[in-house]
Chains A and B, each alone.
Chain A
Amino acid sequence: MFNAVARNIYFLLGGFGVTLQLTICALVGGIALGALVGLGRISRNKWIYHPITLYVNFLRNMPLILVIFWFYFVMPIIAGRPLNPFLSAVISFIIFEATYFGEIFRAGYQSISKDLTSAAYSTGLTYSQTARHILIPIAFRRMLPSLITQSIVTFQDTSLAFVIGLQEFVRRTSIVDNLEVRSIQLFGFVAIVFFIFCFTGSKISRYFEEKGRKLGMI
């Protein structure tokens, strides 16, 4: 039944490997940048708040595929040389997903009482020490279910990188399909793999949500 898949399994799994690499890079970069973007969104310094807010609002109202395209075609003009599709995709994903992660972090920071931050300052901790040891870890834990949900969305979104010719999972499947002409089984296989990963992810998210509620962190 999956004979076309079986014949090309290494080629397809190689594509899935690229998808995973892209997801991991996008998540590590997107969450790290998002934690900072969230801090910018609650900053009382208008020179930080307004530019960050503009960046967030602009990208959140933009389709991702446009950002990927735009970045891929504009960057060579700025950088003076063509970027490889993987690097271009990673950077586009990080700056795009950071706006979504940033809003999740912002909600997390806003759930932390003003006095808790004051308590940290009153022991002599600086702003960056307070952010690093208090605000970011607490927001990360409280928002873990939402962060996992957004991570699943990011994982699904990576397939859009096929538009700039990146040979990720979906792109490679369509290459195989052009030769084998077994669309239903090939894309059915892709669907099953995505489903298993995403469903597992959402179960993990549920688990952390329950755990957080029990510990009184949410």
Chain B
Amino acid sequence: MIEIKTVSKWFDDFQVLTDIHETIERGQTVVICGPSGSGKSTLLRCINGLEPYQKGEIIVDGVSLSDPRTNLYKLRENIGMVFQRFELYPHMTALQNISLAPMKVRKLSREKAEKKAMDLLERVGIPDKADAYPANLSGGQQQRVAIARSLAMEPKYMMFDEPTSALDPEMIQEVLDVMIALAKEGMTMLCVTHEMGFAREVADEIIFMDFGKIVERGTYEEFFKNPKSERAKEFLKQIL
């Protein structure tokens, strides 16, 4: 369970997050949407301990991130993260990208790590690309490798930061399919995305953020069909 308790964050004197309060139960899929600059990515980075926050508390499985005794490296093993621009290691093949962390962090043998990487490539549908370098993969393939890389650590939580917004339209679905399958298998997911189809299919809750605040929350039906706030109506008009 991820508990976010009235978290606020400032970059110098500019406030990027204001009193964010949210609980994500195991097995849930939460979709975060909102205009750019509304603090969505920053929130994900805070949950992963990649950015500090100044007020409030984030607790992952009972462990507080702001506690100085918390080992953030250890905590991150349980939280996978997928980025907008894939961020694959350019000097490694797809297989090496996936097997690096299991070998170095989990101390798996090379054979075991590579076996696991192959299984994951199988699962995301591109086992034939094991020896390809990121530069020779399409955007959709790169993102699927990136998802496999996160899954290799067998995380309890997966966070997606606009995973399809840098992709050509014809490649979006192949990535969404992988994400939908993952959600249906019971993975706890936190996704920053504007993909309505994805939200409709798997989101348990949708959060709408604007200017660093959670403005509105609800199920797919509640949010997309009957937005309450003016900001959400305006935003939905733009993305629909």
Q: Which residues in A have their C-beta under 8 angstroms from that of B48?
A: 118, 121-122
Q: What's the least CB distance linking A2 to chain B, in Å?
A: 46
Cβ-defined partner of B73 (8 Å) among A116, A126, A137, A138 = A126
A102 to B83, CA, bound (A): 30
CB closest chain-B residue, reference A141: B91
Q: How far is the CA of A138 from the CA of B90 in the complex (A)?
A: 8
Is A133 among interface residues, defined by CB-CB distance under 8 A?
yes
Complex formed: what's the CA distance from A125 to B153 in Å? 11
Q: Is A129 an interface residue (CB 8 A)?
A: yes
- Cβ–Cβ < 8 Å partners of B73 in chain A: 121, 124-126
Beyond known contacts A123-B77, A123-B149: 14 more, CB 8 A cutoff = A119-B83, A121-B73, A122-B76, A122-B79, A123-B105, A123-B152, A124-B74, A125-B73, A125-B104, A125-B105, A138-B89, A215-B133, A216-B90, A217-B135
On whether the beta carbons of B80 and A123 are closer than 8 Å, the reply is yes
* B81, A118: Cβ atoms closer than 8 Å: yes
B181 close to A (CB within 8 Å): no
Interface size on A, residues (CB 8 A): 21
Q: Mostly helix, strand, loop or mixed at chain A's interface?
A: helix
* Bound CA span A133–B100, Å: 9
Q: How far is the CB of A176 from chain B (nearest CB, A)?
A: 47
One of B81, B89, B133, B146 near A134 (C-beta < 8 A):
B89
Q: Determine how close the nearest CB of chain B comes to the CB of A124; give it in whole angstroms.
A: 4
Contact with A along B25-59 (1 / 0, CB 8 A): 00000000000000000000100101000000000
- Cβ-based interface call for B85 (8 A): yes
Interchain residue pairs A-B with the least CB separation, the first 3: A124-B77, A123-B101, A122-B81
Which residue on chain A has the smallest CB distance to residue B102?
A123
Q: Find out whether the CB atom of B76 lies under 8 angstroms from the CB atom of A124.
A: yes
Can you spell out 13 A-B residue pairs with CB atoms less than 8 angstroms apart?
A118-B83, A118-B87, A119-B81, A119-B87, A123-B152, A124-B105, A124-B153, A125-B101, A129-B104, A129-B105, A133-B89, A134-B89, A217-B91
Are B76 and A116 within 8 A (Cβ)? no
Residue numbers in B under 8 Å from A217 (CB-CB): 90-91, 135
Cβ < 8 Å to A, chain B residues 113-160: 133, 135, 146, 149-150, 152-153
Contact string against B for A residues 124-162, beta-carbon threshold 8 Å, 1 for contact and 0 otherwise: 111001000110011001000000000000000000000
Q: Which residues of B contact A119 (CB under 8 A)?
A: 81, 83, 87-88, 146, 149
Provide the bound-state CA to CA distance between A141 and B91, in Å.
8
- Pick from A123, A134, A216 the residue with the most CB of B within 10 Å: A123
Residue of B nearest to A217 (CB): B90
**List of B residues within 8 angstroms of A45 by Cβ:** none
Shortest beta-carbon distance, A138 to chain B, in Å?
6
Q: Are A137 and B87 in contact (CB under 8 A)?
A: no
A138: nearest residue on chain B (CB-CB)? Answer: B91
Q: With A and B bound together, what is the CA distance between A209 and B101 in angstroms?
A: 30
The digit string for B60-88, where 1 denotes a CB below 8 A from any CB of A, is 00000000000001101101110111011
